[in-house]
Amino acid sequence: MIVGSQGNFTDAGIAQIQRTVLAVICLCILIGILVAGLWPFHAPANQVSWGSQGNGLRFGQHGSVVSVGPLGTSQSRAENACSIEIWVQPNRVDSGGTILAFYRPNRRVIPFSLLQYVSGLELKQEDQSGRKSRIYVDGIFSRPQPVFLSISSGKNGTAIYVDGALVEKSENFEFSSQDLSGEFILGNAPSSSNNWSGQVKGLAVYDHELTATEVSKHFTSWTKSRQPDLEKTEGLIAGYLFDEGKGSIVPNRVNSSANIVIPKRYFVIHEQFLEQSWYEFHSSWSYWQDVGINIAGFIPFGFFFHAYFSVVGKFRRVSLFTIALGFAVSLTIELLQGFLPTRDSSMTDLCTNTLGTVLGALFCAWSIKFNWLARTGNVIWSKRFFARSGYRP
């Protein structure tokens, strides 16, 4: 019973109220963590649509398209030389994501990818051994307007042109026609959710290094006349005009085996389970922000579950049991995230969530050891408090 024969609250009754309140708090925390980790609980609609005016595909918050087959290679005029032209318009200049990525389905290596990072353009290359290199050019997306990018690579390095003008040349960065011979995805990364929002108005891949004259000529034909004659363009491996205006297929004007398909549901081509921390690490502010959020999010879990198990009194090693429970909950979330294209399953999240549980449990154990909780509870759980509040169970 909670009240005695004369209406006084018994110690057993107050202990029961403590356990009930802590159980409700723990349940709310658990539900909140599950919702935060798994929402939405399904694959959303693929937010890719045809532009209302002119050419282009529009990519929303969760949108991506993929080639139905590899591009393949042709006889290059210069060994390993290649070029990419892509006409894009970002939705925002303070955002980012993967615009274009080439990949091989039977390997985790992403040979070449093109990304927006805030207002800059980032090129990434990865060789067969996993060694990565990159170029970053700031200010290319400083305004939300169409940008025609020409990226040409050969034995002398890589040149980046914006709207027909050279803006960067690097002798230390090089990608080859073999890097572009696989399948590709637009608007997202192949193995994780890294969305890019904006509009793609054109894409072409060449088997040779474009000259400055060719770049200028192509820029004019794509953006001014809007009638590039891809069928007569020399050395073209793939060309997409995005002028169909309807349907779920974007044809490759050179080889139909590498047409682009627009799925109905948002997807990640090769969703990973528990991606290793060293693969996903990057020294950006957003990465460390996510680490902090994951740790802080599980501190209340460790604290209140430790407090509940301590009050229940049925566990000898409360701290270890609480930490094991936090690890199990985090592992369950990470495994389920492997089936959700909007979420990423990673070892980093598992480790940081468990660390947050450890910190919360240790803080609760420290509070109990130094009688901090008891002193605080004297006000909350005292018989006088219940009597004055008029509470009647």
Residues for the chain: how many in total?
393
Average pLDDT rounded to a whole number, residues 187-203:
92
111 Cβ contact partners less than 8 Å away, ≥ 6 residues apart: 102, 103, 104, 125, 126, 127, 175, 178, 179, 180, 182
Q: What is the mean pLDDT of the chain?
A: 85
| Tens-place pLDDT, residues 70-112 | 887 665 455 689 999 999 999 988 888 999 999 987 767 889 9
- Note whether 180 and 71 are within 8 A (CB): yes
Annotate 175-201 with b (16+ C-beta within 10 A) or e (fewer): bbbebbbbbbbbbbbbbbbbbbbbbbb
Q: Which pLDDT score is estimated for 49? A: 94
Q: Which pLDDT score is estimated for 2? A: 47
Q: Which pLDDT score is estimated for 86? A: 97
Going by pLDDT thresholds of 50, 70 and 90, the confidence category of residue 6 is: very low
Q: Which pLDDT score is estimated for 107? A: 65
Helices and strands, number each (H, E), in the chain? 8, 16
Closest to 361 measured CA to CA, from 334, 312, 321, 314: 321
Q: pTM of this prediction?
A: 0.78
Residue 4, CA distances (Å) to 377, 378, 382, 386, 388 in order: 21, 20, 15, 13, 16
Residue scoring higher pLDDT (375 or 119): 119
Residue scoring higher pLDDT (187 or 1): 187
Q: Which pLDDT score is estimated for 214? A: 92
Among 52-56, 232-236, 252-256, 353-357, the range with the most confident prediction by mean pLDDT is 353-357
Average pLDDT rounded to a whole number, residues 133-141:
93
Q: Phi first, then psi: what are they for 98, rounded to 5°?
A: -85, 115
Structural domains of the chain, ranges and CATH numbers in brackets: 11-41+280-389 (no CATH), 48-266 (2.60.120.200)
For residues 149 and 153, give the distance between their C-alpha atoms in angstroms, rounded to a whole number.
Answer: 13
Going by pLDDT thresholds of 50, 70 and 90, the confidence category of residue 372 is: low
| Tens-place pLDDT, residues 169-186 | 999 998 988 899 889 999
- The Cα angle at residue 254 between residues 253 and 258, in degrees rounded to 5: 90
